[in-house]
């Protein structure tokens, strides 16, 4: 249960950092920011596993995990904003 709570906290932090990094206004609340960070964590984890390999014996929290989660969230947020702008026009 504690792992799930940490997962949510990291998702919120990664989503918040992504929103700070990407310029412009993003109309989303804290729940959507958390979901953005969680999806970004999955994307960042996949990118990290492809680039650096995966070590199943060491699945704990790492600063690099937060960094890749933020990178993934930035990618997802960029795609979301591009899709949002395209559907409005």
Looking from the CA of 2 toward its CB, the CA atoms found within 13 Å total: 2
Q: Which pLDDT value is given to residue 62?
A: 63
Over residues 64-88, the pLDDT tens digits come to 678 888 999 999 999 998 888 777 6
Enclosing domain of residue 37 = 2-88
Answer whether 0.75 is exceeded by the pTM: yes
CB 65 within 8 A of CB 57: no
Q: Which pLDDT value is given to residue 24?
A: 84
Total of domains in the chain: 1
Over residues 25-66, the pLDDT tens digits come to 888 888 999 999 999 988 888 888 788 776 666 666 666 678
């Amino acid at each position: 249960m504690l792992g799930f709570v940490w997962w949510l906290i990291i998702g919120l932090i990664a989503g918040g950092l992504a929103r700070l990094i990407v310029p412009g206004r993003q109309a989303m609340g804290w729940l959507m920011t958390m979901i953005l960070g969680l999806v970004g964590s999955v994307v960042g984890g996949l990118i990290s596993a492809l680039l650096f390999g995966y070590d199943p014996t060491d699945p704990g929290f790492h600063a690099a995990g937060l960094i890749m989660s933020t990178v993934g969230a930035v990618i997802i947020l960029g795609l979301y904003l591009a899709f949002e702008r395209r559907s409005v026009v």
